[in-house]
Amino acid sequence: MMSANRCVTFMNCSGVRTLRTVGAHISSVDTPPVAGDTVIDLGGARLLPGLINAHDHLQLNTLPPLETARRYNRAHEWILDVDGRRRSDPDFEALIAVSRNDRSLIGGVKNLLSGVTTVAHHDKLYPILSDPGFPTRVVTRSGWSHSLYIDGGDAVRDSYRCTPPDQPWAIHAAEGIDSESAQEFDRLEELGCLGSNTLLVHGIALDAERRQRLDHAGAGLIWCPSSNLTLFGRTAEVQWLAERGRVALGTDSRLSGSRDLLEELRVARQCSGLSEILLESLVTSAGARLLRLADRGALEAGLLADLLVVPGDRPLSQLARTDVRLVVLDGIPRFADEAHAARMAPPEFWSRIEVDGCPRMLESTLARALSAAGCREPGVDIVDLTWRAA
């Protein structure tokens, strides 16, 4: 068990010169280490706040996408196809039959390995998601509705009214390319569900006038370009809203979306004119602000010690999970390359794994849970649950 008052100073960082953590929080930035600190020389690597995935369905990431070249006009056409596959494809049904806890665990591991320390899960808050041993933080102070199509107007309105105004409320909306999809935005306005805490997920069908109305309401857009391009062949227009701080990035799930948040950033760069600085804000500061998470999303004293270390020579949108060198949650390392693992914690803390053929270290309790799960994370192999340094 690592000390709750453990003090660590990261030095020679790209972005900030030094950063000191005490326990679960950042103590100071650009100050020298204190006697007795564990000092980690990053050698010019980049230190970032842990990334924020603003939209995921954690329990669906073990399900393969539909093998179809079809493009849809609206989301409920795709939902009907998925339901049909469940009834007709025994292999797909067998994957769904794996315990929800195990499938959710894989969703958490997917995020952790790509540098994500906070996830907004769009579904019920299953008990495992609040477990201290879950791979990432999951947003708990929030409201949500699936969509007008699934839930109906009355239930959507009731869900919004039951969500405190200081908490975000998310709903799939305008997820399509036809007028029916666009009119979902108008219907949410009519129901009184468009406020400063509203987060519309997808928003592909929003035209310029509706985007202005969204901005005027102080609401936000959760952008999932990979899923949008896969299902509909296009994605939302986000430049103007992103420049106004109204956009965060989400992965959806692998059932329709990208492998992880780093891949989502690559797709976002390729299909938009957003700068690298703006892209990175979607998974850090803007994501934290829209999700009403005042304690994360930046490297500032007093915020949570949720940290990510990556190479300093490339922007995030050009990185893959094999580039992740260290992920820290609550001041405790969870995933690292071998060099950073040895500096951050004793050998018995870690288990050796391989990620896409690259040696990595995973916190041992999490590695044991992953090893015992009834499904696996593609590209990850548990090499040794009881690794010891040579």
In this predicted model, what pLDDT tens digit does every residue of 97-126 receive, in sequence order? 999 999 999 999 999 999 999 999 999 999
Query: Using the 8-state DSSP alphabet, how is residue 128 labeled?
Result: G
Question: pLDDT tens, 39-59?
Answer: 999 999 999 999 999 999 999
Residue 15 has pLDDT above 90, yes or no: no
- How sure is the predictor about 390, in pLDDT bands with cuts at 50, 70 and 90? very low
**What pLDDT, on a 0 to 100 scale, did the predictor assign at position 86?**
85
**What pLDDT, on a 0 to 100 scale, did the predictor assign at position 2?**
65
Rounded mean pLDDT, 362-377: 96
**What pLDDT, on a 0 to 100 scale, did the predictor assign at position 387?**
52
Tell me if 326 sits within 8 A of 338, measured CB to CB. no
Sign of CA dihedral 233, 84, 64, 55: positive
Question: pLDDT tens, 207-265?
Answer: 999 999 999 999 999 999 999 999 999 999 999 999 999 999 999 999 999 999 999 99
Q: Which of 32-36, 64-68, 275-279, 298-302 has the lowest mean pLDDT?
A: 64-68
Rounded mean pLDDT, 331-336: 97
Q: CA-CA distance, 171 to 102, in Å (whole number)?
A: 25
- How sure is the predictor about 1, in pLDDT bands with cuts at 50, 70 and 90? low
Give the side-chain half-sphere CA count within 13 A for 169.
23
- Across the chain, mean pLDDT equals 95
Tell me if 331 sits within 8 A of 19, measured CB to CB. no
Classified as helix, coil or strand, 4 is coil
List of domains in the chain = 7-50+296-384 (2.30.40.10), 52-290 (3.20.20.140)
Rounded mean pLDDT, 309-337: 97
**What pLDDT, on a 0 to 100 scale, did the predictor assign at position 40?**
97
Residue 69 has pLDDT above 80, yes or no: no
Q: CA-CA distance, 130 to 137, in Å (whole number)?
A: 8
**What pLDDT, on a 0 to 100 scale, did the predictor assign at position 87?**
86
Question: pLDDT tens, 172-196?
Answer: 999 999 999 999 999 999 999 999 9
Question: Residue 29 corresponds to which tokens in the numbers above?
Answer: 């930035």
**What pLDDT, on a 0 to 100 scale, did the predictor assign at position 67?**
77
> How much is the CA Rg of the chain, to the nearest whole Å?
21
Q: CA-CA distance, 115 to 136, in Å (whole number)?
A: 10
